Structure 1
Amino acid sequence: MAVVQVIAGIGVCSIPPTATAAPTQLLVGSASQRCLDIYSGSQQPETPAIIFDCHGRINQQWEYTAAGELRTFDGARCLDVRAASTEPKAIVQSYPCHGRANQKWTIRPDKTIASVQSGLCLTVLGGRTANGTGIDMWPCQGLSHQQWAFSAVPPSTNDTQPPTPPSGLAISALTCRSATLTWQAATDNVGVAYYDVYRDGQALGTVNSSTLAVQLALTPGTSWGLYVNARDGAGNVSQASTTLPLKVPQCEADTQAPSVPAGLRGTVSGTTATLAWDASSDNIGVTGYDVYRNSTKISTTSALGYIDTGLAANTTYQYTVAARDAQGNVSPRGPALSLTSGKSCTDVICSATQVAAETDIPWGLAALPDGTVLYSRRDAQDIIRLDPATGAKTSLGMIPNVQGTDGEGGLLGIAFAPGFPDQDAWLYVYHTSPTDNRIVRLRYVNGKLDMASLEVLLKGIPRNKFHNGGRLRFGPDGKLYASTGDGQNGPFAQDIQRLSGKILRLNPNGTPPPDNPFGNYVWSYGHRNPQGLAFDASGRLWEQEFGDSQDETNLIVKGGNYGWPNCEGVISRAGTGCATAGYIAPKYTYRNTEASCSGIAIVGNALYIGCLAGKRLYRSEISGSSLVNVRQYFVGTYGRIRTLEPAIDGNLWMTTSDAAGDKDSVPNNTNTQVLKITLKP
């Protein structure tokens, strides 16, 4: 069991708690000798108040103001009775200060703290003393679990050292619906405060440091990658534990295939075929349909239709469809449908052609003026030059000091400035190192990378298993823009002095431009895991961002706050969340099961978005500051789509990211593609 040490030497102050007391002090519970704390160090509205070992961080520092408020987080939040309730057992929380009576308190001579509104007292639930016990309101009785003493903040609370990663993850009591996940405690120089539990980058929950096990609610037949991060009271987050694979069993044996899909029908417009069919039935449930073109499977979809784009002109195709269930039982294919394409392309996307096959993750891509392309291989850690005319690939060498994260870190985005390579020979690279994420540059001379010329432009961007960001893009202003993930530490996305959860803006030599909004590298903030970056014809920056349950496309403005972790997409994660003054709303949102999009590109007035979990390409038109006429292409055809880049001939480059090796750091264990998408002129 993890034990968090109470800071030694904290004594009760004799100074009466008035407006003339020290600006910030601790509030120590008499029964527990633990401090009044805001859970998880979160500034999200409606975060509960608890008791916790006294560490003196910002979420335990309280200022009792002349107005009778108890302010924390440097005055940004007030102690608040939820919903302004006057009833016993009302929850006590932090909330943006508004000056109403449910945020005003009276310090009584018997050391109790009473609500001005209700007259009830601040009470530790049930008189308990354990870490993480909540706070509510109860009639004032002067009992020890209602008594509080102000105490000086410890003189040294500048803790920047994260805990060690948790270890020893194990699953027990596994059923088709539930399991118990356990782990061994992490260590920290001051003390571990919390553990955050994740599934493939999605948060499952948080427990305090005395808890080393959680119950998981499972979905039958799914495959999960579980891991745990440790977090201390100062908000420092560990690197993730090793991933524990979990294959969830089905609840019952099923060998019966669904019925054969019936009613296959379709129409053709130019080189695009639109298919539809009737639903199949199954003894348990149909989960999807396999679509075949000329006996080759081209898609698996949960819909009752499919759009097949990029057909050859004047060509007859045979389509069939089969149904599948959750245990992989597949029906026979239904009767074939024959469709003949038209003379020419009539849709906005005309064709998709594989230019190269890959065994690694082609993550970043840049189209050179001579028609060749460079792309980074995330896990193999090298840069490849591809000649589209011949399909020939040449490795230009491994980038030094790259390290994977057993997740989504490694060799990520690449970019070059206008005039490359004749006037400006620098290739810019974003990569994960053993200690951080960083931006480097090196010279591209005579078709080769000069490794000896490598310069580190910016380091110290937090890394973790997931949420590393990684896209680079030069803007029309000649500056380099970079998307950085929050490193799985959401509150840092709101801290403009930190590099995580941001869009950064650099001069080409790595210095911060003097017209940046905060006097540092930060251009915008409040991002979770932004990756896609693209500039439109008006010079505006568009960004694509992974959410925990909802993804978003943003139009980035200088100094803008995009809300994470209080708000993702249009979903409030606590309290007012997305309604918080100053937060900038996304231009479009997506369920992440249909999205989880990484790369974006703008060609003309069209924005293209490539999606991983959604296994599709979105196309929308930019109309003013809105996205309209949103359509989907290649749904399931090419699997997980990672990167999109404009081609110099006005078309589009696209790379895929096979699931087999997408969440590890093992080189050359995938089956991916580099494709050329031909657009309608």
Structure 2
Amino acid sequence: MRWNPLRIPAAVVTALVLVVTLAGPAPAAVVAGPAPITGVGSGKCLDVNGGARTARTGVAIRDCTGAANQAWTLTTNGELQVYDAATCLDVAGQDTTAPAVVQIYPCNGGANQKWRLQTNGTIVGVQSGLCLDVTGRGTANGTVVGMWTCNGQTNQSWTTTLRTGDTTAPTVPGNPRVSNLTCSTVTFAWNASTDAVGVAFYDIYHDGQQMTSVSGSTLSTSLPVVAGAVWGLYVNARDAAGNVSQASTTVTITVPQCQADTQAPTAPGTPSATVSGTTVTLTWAAATDNVGVRTYEVRRGGTAVGTVSGNPPVTTFIDSGLAASTAYSYSVVARDAQGNTSPASGSRTVTTGAACGSAVCSVTQVGTDTDIPWGLDTLPDGTVLYTRRDAQQVVRLDPATGAKTTVGTVPNVQGTDGEGGLMGLALSPTFASDQWVYLMHTSPTDNRIVRIKLVNNALVTSSAQVLLTGIPRNKYHDGGRLRFGPDGKLYASTGDAQNGDYAQNTSNLAGKILRLNPDGTVPSDNPFGNAVWSYGHRNPQGIAFDSQGRLWEQEFGNSVMDETNLIVKGGNYGWPACEGTVGTCGTAGFIAPKRTYPTSEGSCSGIAIVRDALYVACARGARMYRAVISGSSLTNVQTFFSGTYGRLRTVEPAPGGGLWLTTTTTGDKDSVANNSNERILRVTLGG
């Protein structure tokens, strides 16, 4: 007899549904609950309409009653259950676009039933990345609750004891490893983390950029990679309450090319040149290649002085800071992705003008170091004081002679096998009388700000004072810059410690610009009653003040763009909902950046302002940008030193209206001391 599904009796259908339900995933352990979830904007509770238990019943806000249809539990899988372990809060149809409908539905383990209860008060759908939202910012009973793009407003903020039921971060995931590496994919695996309640997610990164998240039951995943790239992979564990572990150790991979290529590009055209004072601008005809040219190397007198990269790279280069009335000969070579090098172009000889007529007039190397020079300031006698990030030391440099003196090692500093360690440095505005040196560093438990006296060319460690603790730390995203403002207050930039929801939580010190009195107390006019001055930042590392006393900030993006911001008191700069101008950047309350840079041309760290021109030092982009501050805009943007000195970390004002500039070419993604080869440069500026 043929089975006709159209003639199944209703009782049999019910039985089949029951069998399917009973055969579903085993209930997850409970983190916390049952407890209400209350909207901050409305003061009302998340409520299942009519107290119904039927699948696909919607949810809304209503006066809090303590009834079962307002009693939620959070599981180790990140589910929000109501009534029992079989009924979950669910995004209908697994919709990932706003607006999406929220309902109750039998628990099935799907990603559309998993939630992150962020410490900033939001409840975020794991599958969609959207926020649980009271429609139209309504406050009336029965106002529908759905999913909407996260925007930081009170109709997306919820209070609940479910979030505070677990405050312990998972342990570090162990034994990260790779297999099956090809030119396009790699399998990344790790050992399970442990947690007081349970791991809900693993977040996978390369070199500080988040690649993907997987469930807490997943211990390996296939990742897309870029041919020819050298990446450092690592993983963090996250529990359902939003606590994030410290990062695993790093696994470095060198991705093979997808095809063998032994054919070199053709020679580029002989460069043409124009001269403006001591600056030469070169232009040449593109080389050709069977696969594609990826880099041009510009040579001056046979020595490489710059690189231009891209797909394809541009065919122009500006060489600045040359000697006056001097002849220079230039040629260009091309390279493809596999390092095949073309013959050199024809050479072009030009003579510079008698005087500097550009923004950058000359560059002089004043020192070298085998560690990363990170924070830097100028002492009253014109010598330089700087930090050695991984060696945890402070050094005094005489730029006239290149002589260096180690003035001390900062206590309680610990690296992160990434970008933490001894970072920012700033001298007290009244250093001549009080001798305070302010430092920001990573400790074994957090990031912190301290001050130590410098007396007779030595740090007096017995004078050390810890001014601020409790700034979250991780392998990357530790921020670290210090700067005194014209108001006499100390400003500091802090990263989000690889936990984006910290950035939107004004009670958390991560992902912020902080403001302190010189003694570490909180100024009475700070906007949130704590050290926070602005928020919504991912990993800011540059801060500087212009002639009007306004604070500018430079911030690393994730994978799309970096940004330069003009900071205002209490301002929200949008991370993680907004990266540069990508995401929900038009959301009310988010402050837009003044300029953005593709990460391939940026990854910019330090900034300095001299005569209301902003100078930006970039690592991955291996260049320095200059922009004129005009009103509240950045105009007349120019690029200098593209590849000339490699990756750049710190730029600071120097006496006489110049700049100090430091490199960060090797060893900047680990905590190994003295494994680098860096330079400290003095840049003389023109008009």
* Fold match (TM-score > 0.5): yes
Q: CA deviation at 1:154?
A: 7.2
Q: 1:286 to 1:37 in 2, by over 3 A?
A: same
Task: Find out whether 1:427 has 2:437 as its counterpart.
Answer: yes
The answer to whether structure 1 residue 337 and structure 2 residue 348 are counterparts is yes
Structure 1 residues 92 and 439, CA gap change in structure 2 (3 angstroms): closer
- Look up the equivalent residue of 1:229 and give its one-letter code: N
Q: 1:308 to 1:30 in 2, by over 3 A?
A: same
CA offsets, 1:214-252, max 9 Å, x none?
211121111110000000111111000000101111112
Cα distance between partner residues in 1 of 2:291 and 2:129? 46
Q: Matched residues in 2 for 1:569 and 1:284: separation?
A: 32
**Residue 507 and residue 75 in structure 1: after superposition, are their counterparts in 2 closer, same or farther (change >3 A)?**
closer
The correspondence of residues 448-597 of structure 1 with structure 2, limited to 5 A, is: 448-548=458-558, 549-572=560-583, 577-597=584-604
What's the counterpart of residue 316 of structure 1?
Answer: 327
* 1:385 aligns with one of 371, 381, 396: 396
Summarize the Cα distance change of 1:674–1:262 in structure 2 as closer, same or farther, 3 Å threshold. same
Tell me: CA distance 1:675–1:21, structure 2 relative to 1, closer, same or farther (3 Å).
Answer: same
What residue number does 1:204 align with?
211
Q: How many angstroms apart in 1 are the aligned matches of 2:382 and 2:556?
A: 31
Partner letter of residue 627 of structure 1? L
Matched, 1:674 2:684: no
SS in 2 for 1:273: strand
Provide the identity percentage.
56
**Map of 1:626 onto structure 2:** 633
Map 1:114-125 onto structure 2 (within 5 A). Answer: none
Corresponding residue to 1:254 among 247, 257, 261: 261
Asked if the contact 1:48/1:94 (under 8 Å) is kept, the reply is: no
* 8 A Cα contact 1:4 1:190, kept in partner: no
CA distance in 2, matches of 1:261, 1:74: 54
Instruction: Specify the SS of the correspondent of 1:292.
Output: strand
Cα distance in 1 for residues equivalent to 2:160 and 2:531: 32
Partner Cα distance (2:27, 2:627) in 1: 51
473-482 or 443-452: bigger deviation: 443-452
Of the three residues 240, 245, 266, the one matched with 2:247 is 240
Contact conserved, 2:34 with 2:71, CA < 8 A, in 1? no
Per the alignment, residue 613 of structure 1 pairs with 620
- Cα 1:238–1:283 change in 2 (3 A) is same
**Aligned pair in 2 of structure 1 residues 570, 46: CA closer, same or farther (>3 Å)?**
farther
The answer to whether residue 80 in structure 2 is matched with residue 36 in structure 1 is no
Give the Cα separation in 1 of the matches to 2:679 and 2:27: 49
Q: Which residue of 1 aligns with 2:169?
A: 162
What code does the residue aligned with 1:322 have? V
- How far apart are 1:417 and its partner, in Å? 1.9
Instruction: Give yes or no for the alignment of 1:662 onto 2:668.
Output: yes
Q: Deviations over 1:150-176 (max 9, x none)?
A: xx9878943221101111212122211
Deviations 1:488-518 (A, max 9, x none): 0000100000000000001111111111001
Q: How many Å separate the matches in 1 of 2:476 and 2:189?
A: 21
TM-score by length of 2: 0.82
Distance 2:540 2:440 in 1: 14
User: 1:209 offset after TM fit, Å?
Assistant: 0.6
Which of 430, 434, 446 matches 2:456? 446
**2:11 matched to which residue of 1?**
none
Structure 1 residue 408 corresponds to structure 2 residue 419: yes
Give the root-mean-square deviation of aligned CA atoms: 3.3
Aligned partners of 1:286 and 1:495: how far apart in 2?
45
1:353-399 alpha-carbon deviations (Å, 9 max, x no partner): 10011111000000112110100010111001000111100001111
The secondary structure found in structure 2 opposite 1:559 is: coil
Separation (CA, whole Å) in 2 of partners of 1:164 and 1:510 = 32
Listed as ranges, the gaps of 5+ residues in structure 1 are 62-71, 83-90, 107-114, 123-151
- Offset, 1:627: 0.6
Q: 1:651 to 1:11 in 2, by over 3 A?
A: closer
Cα deviation for residue 21 of structure 1 reads 2.5
1:587-616 deviation per Cα after TM superposition (whole angstroms, max 9, x unaligned): 111111101100000001101000000111
Q: Residues 672 and 373 of structure 1: is their aligned pair in 2 closer, same or farther, counting only changes over 3 Å?
A: same
Give per-residue Cα distances to partners, 1:325-344, cap 9 Å, x unaligned.
Answer: 11111112111111111101
The 3 A distance-change label for structure 1 pair 456 and 392 is same
Using the TM superposition, name which of 637-646 and 6-15 deviates more. 6-15
1:5, CA displacement in angstroms? 5.2
Cα gap change, 1:231 to 1:373, in 2 (>3 Å): same
CA distance in 2, matches of 1:509, 1:223: 44
Distance in 2 separating the partners of 1:677 and 1:258: 35
1:437 aligned residue (436, 440, 447): 447
Are 1:22 and 2:41 matched, yes or no? no
Q: Once the 2 structures are TM-superposed, how far is the Cα of residue 100 of structure 1 from its aligned partner?
A: 9.4
Which residue matches 1:147?
none
Assess if the C-alpha contact under 8 Å between 1:59 and 1:73 holds in 2.
Answer: no
In structure 2, the CA distance between the partners of 1:449 and 1:76, relative to structure 1 (3 Å rule), is closer
* 1:34 to partner: Cα distance: 6.1
Match of 2:190 in 1: 183
* Distance of aligned partners of 1:387 and 1:76 in 2 relative to their CA distance in 1, 3 Å threshold: closer
Amino acid at match of 1:215: S
| SS of equivalent to 1:389 | coil
**Deviation sequence 1:423-471 (CA, Å, 0-9, x none):** 2211000000111100000001122211111111101100001000000
Q: Per-residue deviation at 1:45?
A: 7.1
User: Is the 1:44–1:566 Cα contact (8 Å) retained in structure 2?
Assistant: no
**Counterpart code for 2:627:** S
* Of 97, 118, 135, the match for 1:98: 135
CA gap of 1:519–1:116, structure 2 versus 1, over 3 A, is closer
CA distance in 1, matches of 2:134, 2:81: 22
The answer to whether the Cα contact below 8 Å between 1:104 and 1:116 also exists between their aligned partners in 2 is no
Q: Is the 8 A contact 1:35 1:60 kept in 2?
A: no
Amino acid aligned to 2:244 = V
Contact residue 480 and residue 507 of structure 1 kept, 8 A? yes
Amino acid at match of 2:416: T
Distance (Å, rounded) in 2 between the aligned partners of 1:271 and 1:74: 52
In structure 2, what is the equivalent of residue 132 of structure 1? none
Contact 1:319–1:338 under 8 Å retained in 2: yes
Tell me which amino acid in the other structure corresponds to 1:21: T
Q: Distance in 2 between matches of 1:541 and 1:352?
A: 27
Is residue 2:377 matched to residue 1:366? yes
- Residue 7 of structure 1 corresponds to 30
Task: Measure, in 1, the Cα distance between the counterparts of 2:116 and 2:212.
Answer: 22
Q: 1:46 to 1:272 in 2, by over 3 A?
A: farther
1:83-118 per-residue CA deviation (whole Å, 9 max, x = no partner) reads: xxxxxxxx99645433499x9979xxxxxxxx899x
What residue in structure 1 maps to residue 152 of structure 2? none
Deviates further, 193-202 or 157-166: 157-166
Contact 1:258 1:331 in 2 (8 A): yes
**Separation (CA, whole Å) in 2 of partners of 1:285 and 1:581:** 44
CA distance in 2, matches of 1:373, 1:542: 23
1:346 aligns with 2:373: no
Which deviations, in whole Å up to 9, do the C-alpha atoms of 1:603-661 show, x marking residues without a partner?
Answer: 01101000000111000111111111111011110111100110121111100101x20
- Counterparts in 2 of 1:291 and 1:343: CA distance versus 1, 3 Å: same
TM-score by length of 1: 0.83
Name the residue aligned to 2:12. none
Is 470-479 or 278-287 further displaced after alignment?
278-287
Using the TM superposition, give the Cα deviation of residue 28 of structure 1 relative to its aligned residue in structure 2, in angstroms.
Answer: 2.4
Q: CA deviation at 1:59?
A: 5.6
Of the three residues 408, 423, 428, the one matched with 1:417 is 428
CA contact (8 A) 1:409 1:465 kept: yes
8 Å CA contact retained: 1:35, 1:53: no
